[in-house]
Amino acid sequence: MSCALFLQRVGFDVQVIDRQGPGEGCSFGNAAGIATSEIIPISKPGLLTKVPKWFLDPDGPLSVKLTYLPKLAPWLWRFARAGNMARVRELAAAAAQLSELSGRDHETLRRAAGAEHLLVGEDCAAIYDRDREFSESQWEWDLRSEFGVKYRKLSGAEMNELEPAISADIGCAVILEGWRNLSDPYRFVTMLAECFERQGGVMRSGEVSGFEIADNSVTGLRLADGAVVRADYSVIAAGAWSHRLAAQLGSKVPLEADRGYNTTMPNSGVTLGRQLIYESGGFAITPLSEGLRIGGAVEFAGLEAPANYRRADAMLRKAKCILPDLEDTRGEQWMGARPALPDFVPVIGPSPHFSNVHYAFGHGHLGLTWGPTSGRFVAEHIAGKPSNLDLTAYRIDRF
Ligand SMILES: Cc1cc2nc3c(=O)[nH]c(=O)nc-3n(C[C@H](O)[C@H](O)[C@H](O)COP(=O)(O)OP(=O)(O)OC[C@H]3O[C@@H](n4cnc5c(N)ncnc54)[C@H](O)[C@@H]3O)c2cc1C
């Protein structure tokens, strides 16, 4: 929807083809954080030493379906390679570039869609069970600071004073200033879609199964029902399924479904004034208009495996350690497939094979945060306008 709206702004007639309704993919149930300070790649020095422990813990933040492991192995190898310090710094810089621009691009879309009321929060708290865990990640906070992220550390008692729902027994907390979130991320996408249609855009329900190609140019999209949609330019922004379409256009991309889970509880018994990132548990706790949403975690099992909601249950149990008053944990459970590339930053920009095809996918854990900037960049590039985003780090042929 970000690509579509920014393409309209530069003067194109746009059609969006999606087999689901707008926002019904991974964007449906995310943790709603415009997480501009989350610039540290997931693969980092020391991470691999923790993986065996996580594998053995059925409730841990990472799980891999064993039968899926052989298929995942090449992705994991690339993921591990991205975790050396020199590469982490490069990737953090590429992430910071997107994050820095995302505030303004979000605002542009929110204003256009009349969705300003969905923006809430002024900061966010990262919670650690033990002070030692914070010390071990001090280098990450230093690196964030280098890119302008502002934070302050609180003791457990200080955090409890600020947010009485949080146990004073936590090790410590970090307040991240300037972090905003949405009160309803799904509504945000549907409002973008409504705005797009009001401005003359066409939403078309259908599955793209292939492409019409003539003279080294993609002239149309073939749908599963046999229809062909003619287009001068095409943008592939199909979340965790994008690699299947890119492969048909000559670009092989190591994209994986990084499956996350959560539960949204209308009556949790807990009131919070800000979003929490439970660093020790590997998940987020977000107060939304429809209730408290608790979830995150990472599961690799491919796109087709059924959801395993034990993972959502496990996060609820863990959340009780820091939110002792959490009482009614009945709620709606959800699983979403994050489009994950092994080196953390998305693919944004033109196809190396077809000059009238562009890509915007692979935003992993940060698609809500970075989506608007990716959309603006793609639109400006297609329109031949100068842009303030350096594309190099996001090229599709970097793999
Ligand atoms: C638990 C969880 C918490 C998260 N929290 C945050 C957060 O706090 N902040 C943040 O920034 N990000 C967060 N994310 C990540 C974010 O939600 C994703 O990065 C983002 O939703 C990806 O958006 P997308 O448009 O690329 O993919 P999607 O939202 O999945 O959309 C892709 C769409 O393409 C359609 N499609 C695919 N193939 C085809 C085809 N061949 N033909 C037609 N249609 C097709 C799909 O049906 C789908 O509707 C979270 C994710 C999860 C799972």
Atom 48 in ligand 1: which residue has the minimum CA distance? 25
Q: Ligand 1 mean position to 206 CA, how many Å?
A: 17
Q: Ligand 1 mean position to 364 CA, how many Å?
A: 8
Atom 19 in ligand 1: which residue has the minimum CA distance? 367
pLDDT in tens, 170-179: 999 999 998 9
Phi, psi of 392 (to 5 degrees): -50, -45
**Which of 338, 341, 348 to mutate for ligand 1's pocket (most ligand atoms within 8 Å of CB)?**
338
Phi, psi of 86 (to 5 degrees): -65, -45
Atom 24 in ligand 1: which residue has the minimum CA distance? 239
Predicted confidence (pLDDT) at residue 387 exceeds the cutoff of 90: no
Q: What pLDDT score does 60 carry?
A: 80
Residue 52, token pair as written in the block: 């065996």
Q: What pLDDT score does 51 carry?
A: 75
Predicted confidence (pLDDT) at residue 75 exceeds the cutoff of 90: yes
Q: Ligand 1 mean position to 29 CA, how many Å?
A: 9
The full DSSP string for 141-163 is: HHHHHHTT--EEEEEHHHHHHH-
Q: Ligand 1 mean position to 18 CA, how many Å?
A: 12
Mean pLDDT of all residues in 208-227: 96
Percent of the chain with pLDDT over 90: 91
Predicted confidence (pLDDT) at residue 55 exceeds the cutoff of 80: no
pLDDT in tens, 222-278: 999 999 999 999 999 999 999 999 999 999 999 999 999 999 999 999 999 999 999
The answer to whether residues 315 and 295 touch, using CB atoms and an 8 Å cutoff, is: yes
Q: Ligand 1 mean position to 367 CA, how many Å?
A: 7
Residue 165 parent element (H or E): none
Between 382 and 46, residue with greater pLDDT: 382
pLDDT in tens, 277-300: 999 999 999 999 999 999 999 999
**Which of 368, 370, 378, 394 to mutate for ligand 1's pocket (most ligand atoms within 8 Å of CB)?**
368
Residue 16, token pair as written in the block: 């969006």
Atom 26 in ligand 1: which residue has the minimum CA distance? 239
Residue 157, token pair as written in the block: 């008692």
Q: What pLDDT score does 285 carry?
A: 98
The answer to whether residues 284 and 388 touch, using CB atoms and an 8 Å cutoff, is: no
The crossing angle, in degrees rounded to 10, of helices 2-9 and 367-383 is 30
Atom 16 in ligand 1: which residue has the minimum CA distance? 367
d(CA 246, CA 23): 21
pLDDT in tens, 315-344: 999 999 999 999 877 899 999 999 999 999
pLDDT in tens, 228-237: 999 999 999 9
Q: Is 196 exposed, middle or buried (0-12, 13-18, 19+ CB in 10 A)?
A: buried
Atom 25 in ligand 1: which residue has the minimum CA distance? 239
Q: Ligand 1 mean position to 190 CA, how many Å?
A: 13
Q: Ligand 1 mean position to 161 CA, how many Å?
A: 36
d(CA 154, CA 148): 19
Count of C-beta atoms within a 10 Å radius of residue 336: 21
Pocket of ligand 1 (CB under 6 A): 17-20, 24-27, 30-33, 35, 207-208, 237-241, 245, 260, 262, 295-296, 336, 338-339, 361, 363-369
Predicted confidence (pLDDT) at residue 58 exceeds the cutoff of 80: no
Instruction: Please state the atom number of ligand 1 nearest to the C-alpha of residue 365.
Output: 15
d(CA 295, CA 278): 10
Q: Ligand 1 mean position to 30 CA, how many Å?
A: 8
Instruction: Please state the atom number of ligand 1 nearest to the C-alpha of residue 367.
Output: 19
Q: What pLDDT score does 62 carry?
A: 87
Mean pLDDT of all residues in 21-26: 97
Helix and strand counts by DSSP (H, E) for the chain: 11, 20
d(CA 256, CA 299): 10
The neighbouring-strand residues paired with 151 are 176
Mean pLDDT of all residues in 20-34: 97
Residue 331, token pair as written in the block: 């709620």
Mean pLDDT of the residues in the chain? 95
Q: Ligand 1 mean position to 113 CA, how many Å?
A: 20
Strand order across the 357-361 sheet: 234-236, 357-361, 347-350
d(CA 26, CA 336): 5
Q: What pLDDT score does 172 carry?
A: 97
Does pTM surpass 0.85?
Answer: yes
**Which of 203, 211, 228, 241 to mutate for ligand 1's pocket (most ligand atoms within 8 Å of CB)?**
241
The full DSSP string for 322-333 is: H-TT------EE
Predicted confidence (pLDDT) at residue 56 exceeds the cutoff of 80: no
Handedness of CA 221, 225, 227, 229 (dihedral sign): negative
The answer to whether residues 317 and 329 touch, using CB atoms and an 8 Å cutoff, is: no
d(CA 105, CA 2): 9
Q: What pLDDT score does 23 carry?
A: 97
Mean pLDDT of all residues in 77-88: 94
Q: Ligand 1 mean position to 365 CA, how many Å?
A: 9
